[in-house]
Structure 1
Amino acid sequence: MSEHDMPAAGVPTCYRHPGREAHIRCQRCERPICPDCMRDAAVGFQCPECVAEGRRTTRSGRTAFGGLRPTNAATTSFVLIGINAFVWLMIMATGGNSSRVLAWLELRPDGLCDLQNGFVNLQVGQSACTAGGGEWMPGVYDGAYWQLLTSMFTHVQPLHIAFNMFALYVLGPQLELVIGRTRFLALYFLSGLTGSALVYWAAPEFQATVGASGAIFGLLGALLVVVHKVGGDYRSVLTWIAINFAFTIAFRGTISWQGHLGGFLGGLAIAAILAYAPKGRSRPLFQVSGLVVVAALTALAVILRTAALG
């Protein structure tokens, strides 16, 4: 190409052929492309690299946000429902509200000594409690960090588990179909943990909290983000969120507003990371990094609360 054939200064050139003018941009990556690099797309044109990437994505069955498309989007939700049901039956079979299993699985910020006569002692540790004939009810501050997770699968009242599992049955498959199974599980568990972290921070020190509601509210928050991202009508989602928070406020004496709010905020953040990650090869790294940051901040909140209680 001669000097006279070179594009004028300021004229966009093809990213694959720097010497050629390019007034069309790839609809996917938005890089300028010359006529030789233009490939027909559903809307406009794409560059050869984006066409190849699209073919790889189609072959692997990727969801809109990069996850593998599940063959049955309800399977994961059914497994989670099964685990919750198994734990509930185990608690019912071992005494219900007085179940020793419940005492170890529910989330309690700090441990206490149940004297089994209608009184509790908040001043003694586990060894003094058991030596005096009491029953020790462990808390997260005492090292029962598993409760941050196990409380998500713990229910006592039949209506409580029925409502949460119905919500999971409705919301779970929709979200898994959009974000993929692995990302859905990350959303579910991290939302539940952010809810547990806020319970640990803001609930009364010796109050026990149970239920999958933190994770469920996380799914509600995620659904709101996804519907907004795809340009859908999210008014009905907002209505359901408003109704659920209205019940939370109205029955805040018996419902954990901390778990609901923490899970909802966690779901919003996690879904935003998954839905608004940049497209292309960097998307998985961006999503994983974002989820790691959420997990790290949640862990930091737990550590700081433990230090505060000390």
Structure 2
Amino acid sequence: MRCGRPICPECMTSASVGFQCPECIRAGRASVPAPRGTPPVRAAGRQWGVVTLTLIAVNVAMFVATAVSAYADGERPLDNHRSSLFLDLQLAPALVQEGGEDWRLLTAAFLHIGITHLALNMLALLLFGSELERALGRWRYLAVYLLSALGGSVAVSLFGDPWVPVAGASGAIWGLMGAFGVLAVTSRGDVRGIVTLLVLNLAVSILVPGISLLGHLGGLVVGVVAAGIVVLARRRTEWQGLCLLLLTAVLCVTALTVPTLAVLDF
């Protein structure tokens, strides 16, 4: 097909259907819509995981909310743990069992004492969470995370001092590390890296004061169990859901009805 323009053999360009003049080529390229770039939010979700980024956003939002509450209470914003909102949401086993404030079992996992505590936990969540979200799928990964957080709270409620408050996402993150170990074992991968990391974190939890070892170990154990359920029943979605719900019920009933068994000095 010809465009009607004067033909210059030296300027014509070979095409699949003959030859085209430069003006026709430019006009054709202009008529083709430019490819749309991926929105930054969607690109970040693909790279790091939608659920992981959402969990990080919730933790950051809770930190901001407690900082604002601290300022409103006459405290420094960075002393967010002194705010009335923080005190209403942190885990205090005595207030859960005797006061019926059962929401503390989960809300405490979204609180952090200071910006450093928040930054370290969110970095760990970004690194571990994004990989696990790809491996397990969004909803299974979210279930493992929340159950691990609940497991840490239950361990504190059972074995910790009922009047010592606890807060942080560390129990959930230890659960993610336990889930990594389960995946490594079931896929016959190298477990030395995750075992070394757990040992190092265990040493830090024991040696550094103010860290809840009970919360970490509780999250680890429940993370291993939850990930084991997901892996063993990976082809039976209904069994996965049923077993995870049963595990949730056992944890909740235990935390709400079983009194503190001992005060352990770690």
TM-score, scaled relative to structure 1: 0.64
| Cα distance in 2 for residues equivalent to 1:174 and 1:98 | 35
* Structure 1: distance between partners of 2:257 and 2:52: 33
Structure 2 counterpart of 1:284, one-letter code: T
Does 1:229 pair with 2:186? yes
Distance 2:136 2:147 in 1: 15
Residues 1:152 and 2:109 aligned together: yes
1:93 paired residue number: 68
Aligned residue in 2 for 1:249: 206
Determine the structure 1 residue equivalent to 2:252.
299
Does 2:213 correspond to 1:260?
no
User: Hey, what's the Cα distance between the residues in 2 that align with 1:194 and 1:211?
Assistant: 13
For the 8 Å contact 2:175–2:224, the answer to whether it is kept is: yes
Counterpart pick for 1:287 among 228, 240, 243:
240
- Indicate if the aligned counterparts of 1:110 and 1:206 stay in contact, CA closer than 8 A: yes
CA RMSD of aligned residues (A): 1.9
Query: How far did 1:110 drift?
Result: 1.9
Pair 94,265 (structure 1): closer, same or farther in 2 beyond 3 Å:
same
Structure 1 counterpart of 2:23: none
**SS of match in other structure, 1:196:** helix
Q: Distance in 1 between matches of 2:202 and 2:163?
A: 24
Task: Give the count of matched residue pairs.
Answer: 209
How far has the Cα of 1:307 moved from its partner? 9.2
Q: SS in structure 1 opposite 2:258?
A: helix
Partner AA of 1:305 in structure 2: V
Given the superposition, is the C-alpha separation of residues 179 and 264 from structure 1 closer, same or farther in structure 2, using an over 3 Å criterion?
same
What aligned pairs does 1:97-176 form with structure 2 within 5 A after superposition? 97-111=81-95, 139-176=96-133
Greater share of residues in helix: 2
Provide the rounded CA distance (Å) in 2 between the counterparts of 1:188 and 1:140. 23
Give the Å deviation of 1:206.
0.8
Distance 2:143 2:127 in 1: 18
Deviation at 1:106, TM superposition (A): 0.4
- The structure-2 alpha-carbon separation of the partners of 1:307 and 1:262, relative to structure 1 and needing over 3 Å to count, comes to closer
**TM-score by structure 2 length?**
0.74
The one-letter code of the counterpart of 2:101 is: A
Task: Tell me how far apart the structure 1 counterparts of residues 48 and 186 of structure 2 sit (CA, whole Å).
Answer: 20
Contact 2:94 2:163 in 1 (8 A): yes
The CA distance in 1 between the partners of 2:119 and 2:261, in whole Å, is 36
Return the offset for 1:188.
0.5
For residue 185 of structure 1, the aligned residue among 142, 161, 165 is: 142
CA contact (8 A) 2:229 2:243 kept: yes
Task: Give the percent of matched residue pairs that are identical in Structure 1 and Structure 2.
Answer: 33
Note if 1:214 corresponds to 2:171.
Answer: yes
2: CA distance, partners of 1:259 / 1:222:
16
The answer to which structure, 1 or 2, has the higher relative contact order (CA under 8 A, 6+ apart) is 2
Matched-pair contact (CA < 8 Å) for 1:108–1:140: no
Residue ranges of structure 1 left out of the alignment (5+ in a row)? 1-69, 112-138
**1:83 and 2:67 correspond:** no
SS of the residue aligned with 2:167? coil
Distance 1:265 1:307, change over 3 A: closer
Quote the Cα distance in structure 2 between the aligned partners of 1:173 and 1:227: 16
| Structure 1 residue 160 displacement after superposition | 1.1
